[in-house]
């Protein structure tokens, strides 16, 4: 029995050492792949962290650009509003100037029409007055030589004015 127990202890130790050996072999065999997987996961984590930092930086840059573009857009809108009001004022000024020029043109046309009417009336009245005054003046101043000269000069002046 003692030999059996020694043999049994020996085989137990042998089994135990084989199991430990297989376990050590498996751990050594698998450990580099675990290290590689851990290293790969760590590398992937670092890459993702770096990518995240880059994306956060890009996002900040884009937000700054958006803010800048919004400010430019607001400035452009303000300029458009200003230009629109200036343009409206300009149109209003031009309309007022056109109305003023039209009124002046109407006034000039009316003044010209009055002058033409006055000139026409004067020519008609003077010619009738000359004809009407010529006969009585001739009969009144016919006897005297000075009267004839006066009458000739008056008639000549009146003819020039017509």
- Domain coordinates in residue numbering, the chain: 2-161
Residue 4, pLDDT score:
73
Residue 54, pLDDT score:
96
Instruction: Identify which of 123, 127, 120, 122 has the alpha carbon closest to the alpha carbon of residue 155.
Output: 127
List, for residues 37-62, the tens digit of each pLDDT value. 888 889 999 999 999 999 999 999 99
Query: Between 80 and 157, whose confidence is greater?
Result: 80
- Calculate the alpha carbon distances from 140 to 130, 137, 157 in Å: 15, 5, 19
**Residue 73 to residue 21: CA distance in whole angstroms:** 75
**Coil/strand/helix, residue 73:** helix
Q: Is the pTM of this model over 0.75?
A: no
């Amino acid at each position: 029995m003692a030999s059996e127990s020694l043999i049994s202890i020996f085989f137990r130790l042998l089994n135990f050492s084989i199991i430990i050996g297989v376990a050590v072999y498996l751990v050594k065999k698998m450990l580099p792949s675990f290290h590689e997987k851990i290293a790969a996961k760590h590398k992937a984590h670092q890459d993702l962290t770096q990518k995240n930092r880059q994306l956060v930086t890009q996002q900040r840059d884009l937000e700054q650009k958006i803010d800048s573009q919004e400010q430019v857009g607001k400035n452009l809108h303000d300029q458009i509003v200003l230009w629109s009001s200036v343009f409206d004022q300009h149109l209003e000024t031009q309309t007022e100037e056109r109305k003023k020029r039209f009124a002046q043109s109407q006034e000039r046309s009316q003044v010209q029409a009055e002058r033409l009417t006055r000139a026409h009336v004067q020519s008609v009245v003077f010619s009738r007055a000359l004809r009407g005054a010529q006969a009585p003046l001739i009969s009144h101043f016919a006897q005297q030589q000075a009267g004839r000269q006066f009458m000739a000069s008056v008639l000549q002046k009146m003819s020039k004015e017509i």
